Structure formats: structure tokens, C-alpha cells
Amino acid sequence: MIELRALHKTFEKGSEPVEAVRDIDLAIEQGSIVSLIGPSGCGKSTLLHMIAGLYEPTQGMVVYNGKPVVSVNTAVGYMTQKDNLFPWRTVQDNVALPFELAGQPREERRRSAREILKRVGLTGFETRYPSELSGGMRKRASLARMLLYRPETFLLDEPFAALDAQLKLAMHDLLLRLWAADRQTILLVTHDLVEAITLSDRVIVLTQRPARVVLDQPVDLPRPRDVLTVRFTERFKEIYDSLWERLRLEYEEERL
Amino acid sequence: MSSTGGLASSAARIEIAQRPRNRPYAEMSSGRMLLCQTGVGIAILAAWQLVSGRLLDNFFISNPVDVGLRLWAWSVSGYIFVHLWVTFYETMAGFVFGSLIGVLLGIWLGVAVFTSRLLNPFLFGFYALPKIALAPLFVLWFGLGMESKIALSTIIVFFLVFFNTYAGVREVDVDLINSVRLMKGTRLHLLRLVIVPSSMGWIFAGLKISVPYALIGAIVGELIASNRGLGFLVQFAGAEFDTTGVFAVLIVIGLLAIGLNFVVDITQRRLERWKIVSH
């Protein structure tokens, strides 16, 4: 359970303070998938940073499983917009890093790394370096790292943005299947409304900066969902329309 | 795509076809270039030999034949190797100590923000001081032997390596640090898996530039006060008005410098191949 209580974040950049997050109250149930959607630069990443304990809130607090988050929250795995791969490590050693930190023997952790790399379609690239991969491949390697070490909560900041349509669907399917087995809590930042509805139990619409919650839409589509067909159901369309109606207002404001 | 590709490749073809006509010498093969370089070398030596005793007094510029004979005699007797070894030893010792202290202190201050802010003015003040000026002090402290030269070489190398290492550590990607912390990495993990490898490029750049400076430190130290080493030899020959001796030692110093640079280049290529340092 992740609780955000009256959360504020203001950055002191130079002389002018920038308010990124304003008064957010949210509770995210254990084992649910929740998407955050909103205009670019609205403070979604700031929110994830606070949940991970990398930013300190200006006011309010983040409570994780009943305990206030005061320093780095090692219960969460955080996939930021940057892939955060180590340029001097091969892909497999990047993916196996969390196991290396845990002291697992080299051959064992490499074997599991190769297995997960196969599932994200990176077979044949295990011993390459990140600089030899395309942006989408690096994203997948970064995702593989998180899927491999299975923290109890995933924070995903636009994890699939750099992927083409087919690959995106394959990754959605992989994520849902792994989630069905492990039931992690997943908090996902995305710009893709279809992706948000396909994956989530709830979609939360945020305003432009400073981010506030304007709509908290439950997604009551039955699970397991077929990522290929769920988007063509009647219920999906209704949810999409109700979200889009609210989101449009935010985007229109942005356009002005 | 095919049309643009065709255009581009035909343009390239035209350029390639024109190049030999326009710049025939610049594109010369390395083998022929080596031949030409040897020619230039011989020409310089010949000019030196011709000018000496005719246009300029042999006393001031000596001549290649005498210098060559002197080097030969020194090599046969083993005289030069004693001094070469002393200078080489001082250079290496200064390099090793200086870089060791430089890397360790650079990492430490790079991580410890408070201490680095505290010591900042002192370090920069010390850095601004021409280290050569410390030579008399080191002779006083460590005597005429190798120790004073090693000390001078060490302090020069230290600053070069220290500032590079420090800059490298400050440049480490905070996001990589954070991702290791989130994966339950300890401080030792951060140091070993993030900070050291990511500053490796900077550290190596510092080590690379400090090799010739280590040699300078050793030689300057010997020039000031010593009884052995190439710096001593050049000083001694100069004091004896032995121009031939001076040129002979200068050539040995030059060869030593070239040798050290060669080792640095080889090391760099190795490190790049192992991805420890990127190009």
C-alpha cells in the first residue's frame, strides 16, 4: 500500500520557486496496477521520485506499507525515463546487477539474465554494450532488469514510449503475465491512454503543473485481459471516452 | 531511398576519384611515409654535420658523429645505463606514488562534499604554486639521493591525477547512483560498481598526461642537486663545456620519453578494448 498524504513539492530553482506537485492525496492498494496520465512536464516523474525516496516532499508525506518514506525506498524498483544502464557493463551484466549486489554467483545470475533477455526479445545481445543497442532495445534491457529482480513495487516512468506498436503490445502482455504470477504493485506513468486502460485497475488523470488529481477512473475490465483485443470491447470504449473527455481539457489548456 | 543512396554513392565516387589528383601526398601509404620521414631525419643529421665546424663552432653544437660515438662508448661501458636506470626508477616511483595518492584523495574528496569544500582554497593555493620551486626544500628534507627526486615527481603527478580524478567523481551520473541505491546497493557497491568505473576515463586521462611530468620532475630534481641520473649527467657535461655529452644525454632523455609514451599508448588501447576506458 502506497499512501500519498497532502503531498507538495516545490523546487527552488534560482530565485523563482517552481511548484511541481500540489496537494495530492492518493492511496494505491497492494497488488494493483495504477496509471498516471497527464500533460508533459506536469510533475508525474517528481511524484515517482518522492515515492522512491529520491526527492523529499516539501510538505506532506509518502507512506509505504505503513511507514513514512524518509530515505531511499529499497522496496520499490524504479525504471526512470532514462534507461540507467551502465555503459561499461554488457547487457547481461547490467540486467544481472541487482543479483550481483545480492551476492549471487556469476554463472547463476548470468543464466537468469539471459532467460529474461530472451523474453524481452534481446537474445543475441547479451554480451553487447548498451552503446551498441538502439533506444528501444536499451529500454527493454532496463525493463528486463526490473522484471528479473522482482521488487514488490514497480515504478515505471514511460517504460514503453520508445517502442514500436507490436513490441509495445508484446511488452504489455509480458508485464501482465508476470504480474498475474507475482502481483506486484505497479505504478505506471504514461502518455498512452490505450496502454493505461489496457494495463491498469485505475487510471488517474493529473492536471498541468502543479500536478493535482482531477479524475480517478476505475478500470473494471475483467482479467486476465488479452492485450490485443481488450481495446475493442464496449466497456473499454466507455472508459476511454470518459477519460479522454477530461484529459482533453488539460491538453487544450496546454495548447493555448 | 535507392535514389538518394545512388546520389550519395556517386558523389562519393567522384570525390574518391578526384582525391588522388588533388592531394597525392596527404594520402600516401604509411610505408612510403616512413621512408620519407627517415629521409627528413637523415637530412637534419647531415645538415647538422655540415654546419658544425663550418658555419657554427663545433664547441657550441657538437656534431652527430661525435654524439653517436659518445653514445656508443657510454653504452659499451654501461655508464649511461646506470644513470638511465636512476632516472627511470625515480620517474616510475614518482608516478606510482603520485597517482596512488591522487586517485585515493580524488575519490575521497569527490565523495565527501563537506571536506572538499573545506579544503578547496588550500588545494587550489597549493596547486597554483609552481612545484619545481619545492625542489630545494625536498633536497633539504630528503637529501641528495633519489628520494628528493621521487618526492618532487610525486607531488607534480599527484596534482594532475588528483584534479582529474576529482572531476571524474563529480561527473558521475546521479541517476546511476540512485538506481544502485534502490537495488539495495551498499556504499562499497556504489564505490566499486559506479564511482570508480565511471571516473575511469578521467582517471586515465590524468595518468596519461602525468607520465611526461613525472619524468620532468625527476630530471629537474637531478639538475638542482644530485650525483646520479640523466639530469645530473646533462648538468655535469654542461659544466665541463662538453657539448657532445649534453647532446648525447638529451637524446637518451628523448628516447626515454618516447618509450614511456609508447607504453601509455599501448595501455590505452588495451583499456579501450576491455571497455574500461571509452575512446
Distance CA A146, CA A154 (A): 8
What pTM, to 2 d.p., does this model score? 0.80
Which residues are CB-contacts of B189 (< 8 A; sequence separation ≥ 6)? A101, B180
What local confidence, expressed as pLDDT, does residue B4 receive?
45
- B203 contacts in chain A (CB < 8 Å): none
Cβ within 8 Å, pair A74-B179: no
| Residue A127, number of CB atoms within 10 A of its CB | 12
Q: A84 contacts in B (CB within 8 Å)?
A: 175-176, 179
Does any CB of chain A come closer than 8 Å to the CB of residue B198?
yes
Q: Looking at residue A254, what is its pLDDT?
A: 67
The answer to whether A134 faces chain B, any CB pair under 8 Å, is no
Contact B184 A74 (CB under 8 A): yes
Strand partners, A17: A12
Q: What is the pLDDT of residues A160-176, one digit of tens each?
A: 987 888 889 999 999 99
Each of the 279 residues of chain B gets a pLDDT tens digit; together they read: 444 444 445 555 555 555 555 567 888 888 999 999 999 999 999 999 999 989 999 999 999 999 999 999 999 999 999 999 999 999 999 999 999 999 999 999 999 989 999 999 999 899 999 999 999 999 999 999 999 999 999 999 999 999 999 999 999 999 999 999 999 999 999 999 999 999 998 999 999 999 999 999 999 999 999 999 999 999 999 999 999 999 999 999 999 999 999 998 898 888 877 767 765
Mutate to test the interface with B, among A72, A92, A106 (most CBs of B within 10 A): A72
> What pLDDT does B274 receive?
72
pLDDT in tens, B216-249: 999 999 999 999 999 999 999 999 999 999 999 9
pLDDT of the residue at B6: 47
Q: Which residues of B touch A82 (CB under 8 A)?
A: 175
Burial of residue B268 (number of CB atoms within 10 Å: 0-12, 13-18, 19+): middle
Residues in chain B: 279
> Cβ of A97 and B275 within 8 Å?
no
Which residues on chain B are in Cβ contact (under 8 Å) with A78? 178-179, 182
Starting at the edge strand found earlier in the chain, the sheet holding A185-190 runs: A76-79, A153-157, A185-190, A33-37, A202-206, A213-218
What is the predicted pLDDT for the residue at B3? 44
CB-closest option in A82, A87, A101 to B183: A101
d(CA B279, CA B269) in angstroms, rounded, equals 9
Contact A97 B200 (CB under 8 A): no
Cβ neighbours of B171 in A, within 8 Å: none
- Chain-wide mean pLDDT for chain A? 90
Residue in this structure with the C-alpha cell 485481459, named with its chain if needed:
A225
CB-based contact, A244 to chain B, within 8 Å: no
- Nearest chain A Cα distance for residue B114, angstroms: 20
Please tell me the distance from the alpha carbon of residue B187 to that of residue B199, in angstroms, as a whole number: 16
| Nearest residue of A to residue B189, measured between CA atoms | A101
Helices (H), chain A: 44-51, 91-95, 97-101, 106-119, 135-149, 165-182, 193-199, 234-255
Residues of chain A short of pLDDT 70, as ranges, are 254-256
A149 near B CB under 8 A: yes
Q: How many CA atoms lie within 13 A of A193 on its CB side?
A: 19
The interface predicted TM-score (ipTM) is 0.87
Measure the CA–CA gap between B128 and B85, rounded to whole angstroms.
31
Q: How far is A151 from chain B (nearest CA, A)?
A: 9
**CA gap B109, B104 in Å, rounded:** 9
In terms of residues, how long is chain A?
Answer: 256
What are the DSSP calls for B69-134, one per residue? HHHHHHHHHTHHHHHHHHHHHHHHHHHHHHHHHHHHHHHHHHH-HHHHHHHHHHHHHHHHS-GGGG
Which of B176, B186, B275 lies closest to A84 in CB terms?
B176
Q: State which residue of chain B sits closest to A80, comparing Cα positions.
A: B175
Task: Please report, for chain B, how many H helices and E strands are present, in that order.
Answer: 13, 0
What pLDDT is recorded for position B45? 95
pLDDT at B213: 95
d(CA B229, CA B137): 19
Q: What is the predicted pLDDT for the residue at B270? A: 86
CB contact under 8 A, A72 and B178: yes
Residue B273, chain A, CB below 8 Å: the answer is no
